[in-house]
Amino acid sequence: MMHAATLAQFQDDFVRTLRDPDRPAPPAFAVYRNTVMKGCIDALQANYPAVARLVGDEWFRAAAAVYARAHAPRVPMLLEYGRDFDAFLAAFGPAAELPFLSAVARLDRFWTEAHAAADEPALDARALAGLDPESLASLRLRPHAAARWAWHELPAYTIWSRNRNEAMVAADEPDVEWRPEGVLIARPDDAVRWIGLDAAGCAFMDACAAGATLLEAAAAVPAADLSGLLAKLLDAGAFTNGELR
Amino acid sequence: MTTPSAGLGLKPVHFAQALAAPADGLWFEVHPENYMVAGGPRLRWLEAIRARHPLSLHGVALSLASDAEPDAAQLARFAALVRRFEPALVSEHLAWSAAQGAYLPDLLPFPRTSEALARIAANVGRVQDALGRRIAVENPSHYLALEGHAWDEIDFLAELARRSGCGLLLDVNNVFVSARNLGASAEAYVDAFPGDLVMEVHLAGHSADPALGQALLVDSHDAPVAPEVWALYERLVARIGPRPTLIERDDKLPGFAELMVERATALDVLRGRFAQAA
């Protein structure tokens, strides 16, 4: 089959046949179509485990096949495959009744990004302890390379964290409370972990990421909550040394 | 790996057991593409394994048989891992997987022409220059009888090795699967393979195609090594002597202990125990 004058012509023709199921090919050619598709779907399932657990294998693999037909991997590091799967799910008709699914996919992506991010030391609360008030106020805290955070108008974080863990959700676990919530995912001590974060905490992280001083970033947070929030973020590995080298 | 021994393909679920395994001569093989990350625990796990066991990097994405040079960024990432982990073995495939800016997660075939041979020899040369070492190139699995082959596969591989200086990785399961699918003799292939070029041997399981059944075997790496493949392996080792041998399993992963049992079987063949008992 597929006689071609040159290697380049053969490969062009082969790729066209791979992508177009209506192009004639011998029955055994299906092995290549199946293997390429299975490789893409398996990679998406590995990268989006909470989404897959929520919707079940069959639904997930059908949706992943639709995605894979439209978006081939660009690089061989399949950990990176499906970066825009959350946007795909947001526009995917069959997911319309699951308005949190896209946000859950984004949190799965955050987990992978936190897992594979560059190594750098996490800022320790002790590094701040010796600073006088003026130095503290002008300090610019830099988010750690592994830190990701988001605020959602839906309880996406609760739904995601219940489906991200291998453990089964207990039968007596209360129903998900339908409210807005935020999350911070980071990698303190080389393991990916997450904490719930309120709207002020997310705004604080946004301000730090934009290069604000601690005084400027604190404008987003009620004064009484600031030291508690800072302690919680430092404990979660949200920042790296930045100016404190 | 001065004394050829048997190793296992390493998957993240088995990291803790792999690290703790005290077995003599045990080595591990990984796909480098899964460790091309900026940082994080994956690299730390692999460093911990490498501190205790020899490591082999088995690339699946340099696309040596593309009508193009290997992607420079991909090659640089591969070279960085080779520098960092100093693996005992490095290997790739006689196949292609990159086309038109996309990565196709498979190992695709091509007609063995003199044009392809020149292109692949140049690509292997580039890879060896970038990595600063000799690599082993693996024989593929075949599902289709392609038109336009000008070279027999073994002659093609031997000539590729002669031109580029590379070695070969003989995947015995690929030989069995290809021979069955194309109606050739697996024994004749194993007997004719140039033993002095073999740097590594792979053993894996296959399965019948879900649609076509036994008429088409798929190199699925999702089952134990088949008895016929063990027989071919014994035949190979009896002729060329022991070589580092890998048990490959990429899907439907069993427990670590089950893989160690398959590895022990390979070790028995390598040490000639079956021959002595017969």
Residue A16 near residue B75 (C-beta atoms within 8 A) = no
Which whole-number Å values give the CA distances from A151 to A85, A161, A229, B156, in the listed order? 19, 15, 16, 58
Banded pLDDT at B277 (limits 50, 70, 90)? very low
In chain B, pLDDT over 70 holds for what percent of residues?
97
Structure tokens at A63: 């949706």
Residue A102 near residue A118 (C-beta atoms within 8 A) = no
Which whole-number Å values give the CA distances from A195 to A88, A116, A185, A225, in the listed order? 26, 19, 7, 16
Same domain, A86 and A133: no
B39 with A10: Cβ contact below 8 A? no
Q: Is A214 on the interface with B (CB under 8 A)?
A: no
Q: Is residue B34 exposed (0-12), middle (13-18) or buried (19+ Cβ within 10 Å)?
A: middle
Q: How far apart are the first and last CA of chain A?
A: 64
Encoded amino acid at A75, one letter? V
Quote the CA–CA distance of B57 and B69 in Å, as a whole number: 20
Prediction pTM value: 0.94
What total of structural domains would you count in chain A? 2
Same domain, A2 and A104: no
Quote the CA–CA distance of B247 and B262 in Å, as a whole number: 7
State residue A130's pLDDT score. 86
In the stretch 136-195 of chain B, residues with CB closer than 8 A to chain A read 143-148, 181
Q: Is A146 on the interface with B (CB under 8 A)?
A: yes
Residues of B whose CB is below 8 A from A117: 38-40
Across the range B251-261, mean pLDDT stands at: 95
In sequence order, the 6+-apart residues with CB closer than 8 A to the CB of B23 are B260, B263
In terms of CATH, what superfamily is B6-277? Divalent-metal-dependent TIM barrel enzymes (3.20.20.150)
Residue A150 near residue A181 (C-beta atoms within 8 A) = no
Which residue, of A98, A133, A149, is where some domain finishes? Answer: A98
State residue B272's pLDDT score. 86
Residue B136 per-residue DSSP state: E
A77 with B36: Cβ contact below 8 A? yes
Structure tokens at B29: 């093989």
Q: Is B16 on the interface with A (CB under 8 A)?
A: no
User: A with B: how many residue pairs have Cβ under 8 Å apart?
Assistant: 125
Q: Which residue has the higher pLDDT, B146 or A243?
A: B146
Residues of A whose CB is below 8 A from B121: none
State residue A5's pLDDT score. 87
Which of B40, B98, B144 lies closest to A187 in CB terms? B40
- Closest-CA distance of chain A to residue B6, Å: 27
Quote the CA–CA distance of A24 and A46 in Å, as a whole number: 32
Judged against a pLDDT cut of 70, whether residue B44 lies above it is answered with yes
Across the range B4-24, mean pLDDT stands at: 91
Q: Is A189 on the interface with B (CB under 8 A)?
A: no
Same domain, A113 and A81: no
Encoded amino acid at A36, one letter? V
Q: Which one, of A23, A43, A80, A4, lies nearest residue B106 by Cα?
A: A43
Quote the CA–CA distance of B247 and B207 in Å, as a whole number: 16
Residues of A whose CB is below 8 A from B100: 15
Across the range B202-225, mean pLDDT stands at: 94
A28 with B39: Cβ contact below 8 A? no
Which residue, of A98, A122, A149, is where some domain finishes? Answer: A98
Structure tokens at A233: 């973020």
A1 with B147: Cβ contact below 8 A? yes
State residue A167's pLDDT score. 57
B40 with A7: Cβ contact below 8 A? no
Residues of A whose CB is below 8 A from B39: 116-120, 145
In chain B, pLDDT over 90 holds for what percent of residues?
93
Same domain, A109 and A69: no
State residue A244's pLDDT score. 64
State residue A174's pLDDT score. 72
In sequence order, the 6+-apart residues with CB closer than 8 A to the CB of A129 are none
Residue B165 near residue B210 (C-beta atoms within 8 A) = no
Which residue, of A40, A63, A98, is where some domain finishes? Answer: A98
Q: Is B76 on the interface with A (CB under 8 A)?
A: no
Same domain, A74 and A144: no
Banded pLDDT at B278 (limits 50, 70, 90)? very low
- Closest-CA distance of chain B to residue A71, Å: 9
Same domain, A8 and A111: no
State residue A169's pLDDT score. 58
ipTM (interface pTM): 0.93
Same domain, A63 and A144: no
The domain of A203 spans 100-245
Residues of A whose CB is below 8 A from B218: 31, 35
In the stretch 235-274 of chain B, residues with CB closer than 8 A to chain A read none
List the single residue in A with minimal CA-CA distance to B95.
Answer: A11
State residue A176's pLDDT score. 86
Same domain, A68 and A94: yes
Judged against a pLDDT cut of 90, whether residue B274 lies above it is answered with no
B106 with A146: Cβ contact below 8 A? no
Residues of B whose CB is below 8 A from A2: 146-147
Q: Is A224 on the interface with B (CB under 8 A)?
A: no
Q: Which one, of B165, B161, B163, lies nearest residue B132 by Cα?
A: B165
Same domain, A81 and A117: no
**Mean pLDDT, chain B, integer:** 95
Same domain, A78 and A118: no
Q: Which one, of B115, B117, B49, lies nearest residue B84 by Cα?
A: B49
Residues of B whose CB is below 8 A from A35: 105-106, 218
Judged against a pLDDT cut of 80, whether residue B3 lies above it is answered with no
Same domain, A234 and A130: yes
Q: Which residue has the higher pLDDT, B8 or A170?
A: B8
List the single residue in A with minimal CA-CA distance to B207.
Answer: A31
Orientation of helix B256-270 relative to helix B227-240, angle to 10°: 40
List the single residue in A with minimal CA-CA distance to B144.
Answer: A28
Letter string b/e over residues B136-168, b meaning 16 or more CB atoms within 10 A of that residue's CB: bbbbbbbbbebebeebebeebbbebbeebebbb
Query: From first to last of its 245 residues, what are the pLDDT tens digits of chain A?
Result: 567 889 999 999 999 999 998 999 999 999 999 999 999 999 999 999 999 999 999 999 999 999 999 999 999 999 999 999 999 999 999 999 999 999 999 999 999 999 999 999 999 989 888 899 999 999 999 999 999 999 999 999 999 999 997 655 555 667 888 899 999 999 998 999 999 999 999 999 999 999 999 999 999 898 888 999 999 999 999 999 766 64
